[in-house]
C-alpha cells in the first residue's frame, strides 16, 4: 500500500491506494444508503488495518506443511488492541477484527459540547495490560481534534504507551490539535479535507459519520 507525504505539522500517513480512494469517493456520496455506508466503512477499515499493523512484532516457529517441516513466522503474542471512540468508532472495528480477530477491544465514550466543541467523557472500558499493548485508537473523523486528544490523554493516564490514531477523514485543524497535545502519536488517515465549517463539521467531508453508519438523524 503506497502512502503520500503530508505537508501538515504532525506528518500523518495519508493512505493513497486506488481502492481506498475509490471507496472513499463512494462513501462521501449523499445518495449512498446506510447499508452501503456500513459496507464501505468496513472495507476501508480492513485496508487501513493493513497499514496500522504493518510493524507488529513477529517470531519464528516450526510448523509442518503437507510436505515437510519448516521454519515460519507468526505474530509474537497478543500485542495489539483496538480502542473505539464511541459511537462512530465502532463502525471501523468490524474490518479490523476480520484481520486481527484475537485483539481485545476497548471503548471510550465522548460527546462534543455543542457550544464549546470540547469533548466530554461519559464511558470508559479498556482491555487489560494496556501498558504493554499497541493501542490502535479508531474514530472515522478527526475534525477539531478535541475528542481524539481527550481520548489519547485518558489512555495515557491509564498507562497506554504505544498509541496510534486511525481515521477516515481529517482536517488541518484536527492534525494541528493532535500535534500540539500528542506529538508522539502517529496518525493514519485516508484524506485530509479542506477544513471545518462554523459548526465544526468537516468540509467537504461525508456528513455525520455516526448518523450515516447507524441510520439516525
Please report which helix (H) or strand (E) contains residue 202, including its range: strand 202-203
202 is in an annotated binding site: yes
Is 208 annotated in the active site?
Answer: yes
Is 116 annotated in the active site?
Answer: yes
Q: What is the C-alpha to C-alpha distance for residues 14 and 192, in angstroms, rounded to an integer? A: 8
Q: What is the C-alpha to C-alpha distance for residues 145 and 142, in angstroms, rounded to an integer? A: 5
Q: Reduced to 3 states, what is the DSSP secondary structure of residue 25?
A: helix
Is 38 annotated in the active site?
Answer: no
Catalytic residue among 60, 64, 65, 116: 116
162 is in an annotated binding site: no
Catalytic residue among 26, 112, 154, 162: 112
91 is in an annotated binding site: no
109 is in an annotated binding site: no
112 is in an annotated binding site: yes
77: left (phi over 0), alpha (psi -120 to 50) or beta: left
Q: What is the C-alpha to C-alpha distance for residues 188 and 165, in angstroms, rounded to an integer? A: 6
C-alpha grid cell for residue 159? 498507562
C-alpha grid cell for residue 133? 499493548
107 is in an annotated binding site: no
Is 184 annotated in the active site?
Answer: no
Handedness of CA 206, 211, 214, 217 (dihedral sign): negative
205 is in an annotated binding site: no
For the chain, state the CA radius of gyration: 18
Partnered with residue 60 across adjacent β-strands are 73
Measured from the Cβ of residue 112, the count of other Cβ atoms closer than 10 Å reads: 16
- Helix 34-52, helix 18-28: angle, nearest 10: 150
147 is in an annotated binding site: yes
149 is in an annotated binding site: no
Catalytic residue among 16, 79, 94, 208: 208
- Binding-site annotation, residues for uracil: 202, 207-209
- Binding-site annotation, residues: 87, 112, 139-147, 202, 207-209
- Binding-site annotation, residues for 5-phospho-alpha-D-ribose 1-diphosphate: 87, 112, 139-147, 208
* Active site residues per annotation: 112, 116, 208, 211
Amino acid at each position: 500500500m503506497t502512502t503520500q507525504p503530508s505537508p501538515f505539522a504532525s506528518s500523518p500517513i495519508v493512505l493513497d491506494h486506488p481502492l481506498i480512494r475509490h471507496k472513499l469517493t463512494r462513501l462521501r456520496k449523499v445518495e449512498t444508503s446506510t447499508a452501503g455506508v456500513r459496507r464501505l466503512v468496513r472495507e476501508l477499515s480492513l485496508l487501513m488495518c493493513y497499514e496500522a499493523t504493518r510493524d507488529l512484532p513477529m517470531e519464528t516457529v516450526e510448523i509442518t506443511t503437507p510436505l515437510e517441516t519448516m521454519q515460519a513466522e507468526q505474530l509474537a503474542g497478543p500485542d495489539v488492541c483496538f480502542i473505539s471512540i464511541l459511537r462512530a468508532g465502532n463502525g471501523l472495528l468490524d474490518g479490523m477484527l476480520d484481520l486481527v480477530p484475537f485483539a481485545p477491544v476497548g471503548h471510550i465514550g465522548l460527546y462534543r459540547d455543542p457550544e464549546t466543541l470540547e469533548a466530554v467523557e461519559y464511558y470508559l472500558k479498556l482491555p487489560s495490560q494496556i501498558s504493554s499493548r499497541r493501542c490502535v485508537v479508531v474514530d472515522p473523523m478527526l475534525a477539531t481534534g478535541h475528542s481524539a486528544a481527550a481520548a489519547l490523554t485518558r489512555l495515557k493516564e491509564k498507562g497506554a504507551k504505544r498509541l496510534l490514531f486511525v481515521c477516515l477523514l481529517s482536517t488541518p485543524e484536527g492534525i494541528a490539535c493532535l500535534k500540539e497535545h500528542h506529538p508522539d502519536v502517529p496518525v493514519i488517515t485516508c484524506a485530509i479535507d479542506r477544513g471545518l465549517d462554523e459548526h465544526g463539521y468537516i468540509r467537504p467531508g461525508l456528513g455525520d459519520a455516526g448518523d450515516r453508519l447507524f441510520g439516525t438523524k
